[in-house]
Amino acid sequence: MRIVKVAVEKTVYHFDKDFDYAVPDALVSRAMPGCRVRIPFGTANRVCQGMILSVRDAEGDAKIKFLQAVLDEAPLLSDEMLFMVPWLKERYFCTLFDAVKLLLPAGLTYRVRKLYTLAAGVTKEQILSLPADERNAVLPLLQKPQQERNALLREAGLPPDAEVLERLCKKEILHCTADTVRRVGDASQKMVRLCSSLPEPLKLTPRQREVFKVLQDAGCASVKEVCYFTGVTPAVIKNMTKHGVCETYEQETYRTPYLDAETSETGLQEPISLSSEQHIAYEHLYESYQTGKASVSLLYGVTGSGKTNVYLCLIDKVLADGRNVILMVPEISLTPQSVRIFQRRYGRRVAVFHSGLSVGERMDEWKRVKRGEAAVVVGTRSAVFAPLPHLGLVIVDEEQESTYQSESSPRYHAKEVAWFRCRYHKALLLLASATPCVETYYAARTGKIGLEILEHRYGEAKLPQVCICDMNRELQDGNTTMLSRPLLEALHENLRQKRQSILLLNRRGYNTFASCPDCGYVMTCPNCSISLTYHAANHRLMCHYCGYSVPFTAECPSCHSRHMRYAGAGTQRAEEQLQEMLPQARILRLDADAAMRRYAYEEKLHQFAEGAYDLIVGTQMVAKGLDFENVTVVGVLSADQSLYSDDFRSTERTFDLLTQVIGRAGRGRFCGRAFLQTFTPENPVFALAARQDYPSFYEQELPLRKVMLYPPFSDLCVVGFVSAEERAAREGSIQFLRSLQEAAQKMYRQLPLRVLNPSPARIYRAGGKYRYKLLLKCRNSTLFRQMLAQLLSEFAKSRIGKAVTAFADINPENIL
C-alpha cells in the first residue's frame, strides 16, 4: 500500500506531527510530495486540507484513513522546500502546515467549504413540521438546492457558530458534502487564432479580411489586441468563429506589478564603473561565490558609498552562471526604487515579492518564479521563500532592520532562512549596511563571516556636515516651535536655492497625548495600555495598536470639565507648523496615514523626485534607502525619542536611525547638511552618528553587551503569555517558570541558562489581551529548542494552558 506523510491544517502545536494516510489506487500516480490533498481528520473525520511531505510503500493497516482527493496537478514544493518545512517547525515552534503556508502565496491556497442539500425523499410537509430555527435553515434550499454553510446560515438569520445544520444532518433532513476551492483564480484573456482547416470557398467581408490578415501575420493574438489594431468590434470575431474561420480560447496571463510597456525581456546591461575600494570588495565577494561553498559576508559601507553597484556586478556574474538571485529590502516603500533599478538592467527576469501587492499579483509573481520565467527576485522578507531552483546569491540590504523578523507565528527571521537556503544551494549570503547590527559586525570582526569595507562615498559626493541643536537652549531663548533656529534658516536657504529637504519625526498623528489638568484623567485605549493619539485629518483619537478610535472631544470623560489638554507632536502637527513657518514651501507628509492607498509610496516619492515638492516630513520610512540628488538638508525633529526605551537595543537603533537619515543628504554633486535636535546633546551617540563612525560606536557598545550578557555573547529568548484575564497570564508565566526550573535541573543540566523572573510586557494589555513575559539568556542550540518545545507542549495540555496562549521567540527584534 502507498502511504503518505501529511502536514494537516488547523492542528494545535502540542498535537502536531506528520500524519499517515493511505492512497487509493486511483490517486497513486498523482499523490506526490509537494502536492496538497483533501483528507478526513480527527474522530469526527472533519474534512481538511494537507500537504504531502513524503511517500513510502508499507503494509496495509485497517485503522489508517485514505486520502479523499489530490488538489494539485503537479508538486508545488521542491525537495528544498519540503526539507525546509520540518526545519521551520523545529526552529520557530510552529505547526508543519503553518510552515507550509509560509512557502505558498495566499492566493494559491485552498479553503474547505461545506455544501448542504436536502436529503433524498424529504418532503415539504416534513420541513414545515420542524422547529422554527431548523425550518428557517432548510427553507432557503427549496429556492436554491445547494448552498454553502455561511450563506445558508446568513439567509436563515442564524449566527455563524449555530449548530442547527449539524443537527439536521443527524436527522437525515440535510446532506453535507465538502469541497475545496481556490481563494483566487488564475487571470486569463480571450485569445483568437485561425482554424487549421478553413472553409471553402472563403468568403470574407472587408473588416473580416483585416482580421484574417492580422491573424495570418501574428499566428494568434488576444481579442482585445485584434480589435485595437483593426478597429473592429468583438462581434466581427464572433461571427468569423461561428463560420469556422477562427477559434477562440482562454490563455493564462500574469497580474504583474511595476512592469511598464517599455521594459525589455533582457534589460540593458550597461557597464558599471567601480571605484578602487568597490572593485576590491567586488573581487573578494566574487571569489567567495566561486568557491562553490556556502558562505556569508558583510558589506559594510558608509551611506552613499555605492553598495548597489557592487550588488549589480555580482548579480551579473551569478546570472551568467545560470543561477538565481534574491535581493531583500526592509520596507515596502523602498521596493519600487529597487525594482526600477533592477528592471532597467535585467528586464522581465525580475519578480517582485511584498505584502503591498494584491493577492492575485503575489500569486502570479510566484508562478513566474516557479516556472523559471524570472531569475531575480526583489522584495521584503517574504521574498526569501521565492521558489528559485538554482539559488546563487542572496543579498540582505540594510540587514540590521527589525522588519526582517516576523512578529506573528511563525516568528521566522529572514536572515536565518536565507542562510538555510544558501547552505542548501552552496550559495553566497551577502549582508549589507552602513549600520550593521552588533551581532553581525561582531561575527565579521571575529572572522566567523567575511568583511568588506567601503569607507568613502562614491564619486564626488561628500558626507554631510552635521549640527547638533540643543533644544534646551532654544526653549531658554523663547523658541517653542518644533524647529530649531539653525534648521529653520537652513530650510529657508534651501528653498531659495531650489533644493529639497527631508525632516524625520518618528511619530504619526497630530497630538500624542491627551489629559485633563483638573482631575488627571488620561485618554487611553480601552483595549490596550497606551494613550490615544489625536489625528487632525479625521478629528479622532486613535490607538496605534488595535485601531480603536473615538471622536475628538474637549470634555473630560471623567470629570466633564472642558479643559482637556492635548500635548506631544506627530507628523500631522509638524506639517501644520511647517506650513505656517514656510508658507511658500510645497510640503509632502509621508507616513502610514498619508500613504494608505495602494502604490501611494511610489507615487509620492516619484513626485518628490520630479520636483513637485520642496520638503518631506515623515516617519522612519523617509530615513532609509532614499536616494535624491537634490536633497541637501536633513533634520531630525526629536532625536531623543528612541534613545531611552527599556530595550537593550535602544542605543543601537537610535544610532542606526540617525546615521541613516543623515546619509540622505548630499548624495549627489551638492554638499549636504544635517540637523539633530535633542534635549541631551551630551549623549555620545549623537557625535558618533554625526561622524558616521560605526566602528567607534561598536567599540563603545560591545563592553556593555558583554557585562550584561546580551547578544552577541548570548542568545535571548522571550516566552510570551497572552490571556483575556490578567491573573491567568500572570499565573501561566509563573507555572511555566516552575516547569522550566524542574526540566533544567533534572534533564537539561548541561544547558547554560540565566532566567529573569516573569514580568508584565512593556505594553501589558493589547487588543483586549493581557501579556506577560519570561526572559531567558541562553545558547540557541538544538537541545535548548528541544527543551523549549517540550515545555510549550506540556503547558498547552495543562489546565491553565486552556486560558493562556504561550509562545517562544528567540532573539526577537522587539522584546514583548
Q: Would the pLDDT of 325 be above 90?
A: yes
Whether 543 has a binding-site annotation, put simply, is yes
Name the percent of the chain lying above pLDDT 90: 40
Q: Decide if pLDDT at 773 tops 80.
A: yes
Q: Cα 479 from chain centroid?
A: 42
Q: What is the pLDDT of residue 261?
A: 44
Q: For residues 211 and 226, is the Cβ–Cβ distance under 8 A? A: yes
276-454 shares the fold of 2-104: no
Among residues of the chain, what percentage have pLDDT more than 70?
94
558 backbone dihedrals φ, ψ, rounded to 5°? -90, -60
For residues 596 and 535, what is the distance between their CA atoms, to the nearest angstrom? 14
pLDDT per residue as tens digits for the range 285-312 = 999 999 989 899 999 988 888 888 999 9
Characterize the bridge pairing of strands 673-678 and 220-222. unpaired
What is the DSSP secondary-structure string of 12-43?
Answer: -GGG--EEEEE--GGGTTT--TT-EEEEEETT
> What are the helix (H) ranges across 291-410?
307-320, 335-346, 359-370
Whether residue 425 is predicted with pLDDT greater than 90 in this model: the reply is yes
Q: Would you say 556 is a known binding-site residue?
A: yes
Residue 516 marked ligand-binding: yes
- Tell me the three cell numbers of residue 351: 519578480
Specify the pLDDT at position 596.
55
Query: Any idea how long the chain is?
Result: 816
State mean pLDDT over 659-683: 85
635 and 504 in contact (C-beta within 8 Å)? Answer: yes
Residue 361 has pLDDT above 90, yes or no: no
Please compute the mean of the pLDDT values over residues 459-478 and round it to a whole number: 85
pLDDT on residue 806 = 94
**pLDDT value at residue 220:** 84
Residues in Cβ contact with 203 at an 8 Å cutoff, skipping those fewer than 6 apart: none
778 is in an annotated binding site: no
Cβ atoms of 720 and 807 within 8 Å: the answer is yes
Task: State the cell numbers at 29.
Answer: 500516480
- In CATH terms, the fold of domain 276-454 is Rossmann fold (3.40.50)
The amino acid present at 198, given as its one-letter code, is L
Integer CA distances (angstroms), 697 to 161, 465, 687, 689, in order: 57, 19, 10, 8
Hunting for cell 549589480 — which residue is that? 312
- What residue has cell string 485514505? 66
Decide if pLDDT at 376 tops 80: yes
Helix (H) or strand (E) holding 695: helix 694-708
Across 567-577, average pLDDT: 81
Which pLDDT tens digit goes with each residue over 494-527?
999 999 898 988 877 766 778 888 888 888 888 8
Give the pTM.
0.82
Question: Does the annotation flag 169 for ligand binding?
Answer: no
Classify the C-alpha dihedral 266-268-272-278 as positive or negative.
Answer: negative
CATH architecture of the domain with residue range 715-810: 2-Layer Sandwich (3.30)
Contacts of 29 (CB under 8 A, 6+ apart): none
Overall fold of domain 187-253: Arc Repressor Mutant, subunit A (1.10.10)
Top pLDDT among 492 and 63 is at 492
Fold observed for domain 2-104: GIY-YIG endonuclease (3.40.1440)
The pLDDT score that the predictor gives to residue 729 is: 93
Describe the strand order of the beta sheet including 246-253 as a list of residue ranges.
220-222, 187-194, 246-253
Higher pLDDT, 718 or 157: 718
DSSP alpha helices (H): ranges in 503-631?
571-581, 600-609
More confident residue, 54 or 563: 54
Which of 350, 355, 394, 334 is CA-nearest to residue 623?
334
Better-scored residue on pLDDT, 467 or 571: 467
Q: How far apart are CA 64 and CA 82, in angstroms?
A: 23
Distance CA 738, CA 745 (A): 11
CA distance 464 to 460: 12
What is d(CA 653, CA 435) in angstroms, rounded to the nearest whole number? 9
Tell me the average pLDDT of the chain: 87
546 annotated to bind ligand? yes
pLDDT over threshold 50, residue 808: yes
Q: Please give the average per-residue pLDDT across 116-124, as a whole number.
A: 85
* HEC secondary structure over 131-171: CHHHHHHHCHHHHCCEEEHHHHHHHCCCCCCCCHHHHHHHC
Question: Residues 6 or more apart from 501 whose CB is under 8 A from it?
Answer: 490, 491, 494, 614, 615, 616, 631, 632, 633, 634, 635
The reported pLDDT for the residue numbered 625 is 65
Q: Which of 267, 266, 299 is nearest to 428 (CA)?
A: 299
Q: Are 458 and 309 in contact (CB under 8 A)?
A: yes
For residues 132-140, average pLDDT: 85
Q: Which residue has the higher pLDDT, 709 or 142?
A: 709
Provide the residue ranges of all domains of the chain, joining segments of one domain with +: 2-104, 112-182, 187-253, 276-454, 465-510+569-704, 715-810
The DSSP string of 741-788 is HHHHHHT-TTS--EEEEEEEEEEEEETTEEEEEEEEEE---HHHHHHH
| pLDDT tens readout for residues 397-406 | 999 988 899 9
Q: Which architecture, in CATH terms, is 465-510+569-704?
A: 3-Layer(aba) Sandwich (3.40)
Residues 6+ apart with CB under 8 A from 651: 643, 685, 701
Question: CA 651, CA 171: separation in Å to the nearest integer?
Answer: 67
Where is average pLDDT lowest: 156-160, 772-776, 800-804? 156-160
Q: Reduce the DSSP state of residue 300 to 3 states and report it.
A: strand
Q: Are 619 and 508 in contact (CB under 8 A)?
A: yes
**671 annotated as belonging to a binding site for a ligand:** no
Specify the DSSP class assigned to residue 383: G
- In our burial notation (b when 16+ CB lie closer than 10 A, e otherwise), range 407-418 reads eebbbbbbbbbb
pLDDT digits 0-9 by tens, 242-301: 989 999 887 777 666 665 545 556 666 778 888 899 999 999 999 999 998 989 999 998
Residue 717 to residue 788: CA distance in whole angstroms: 10
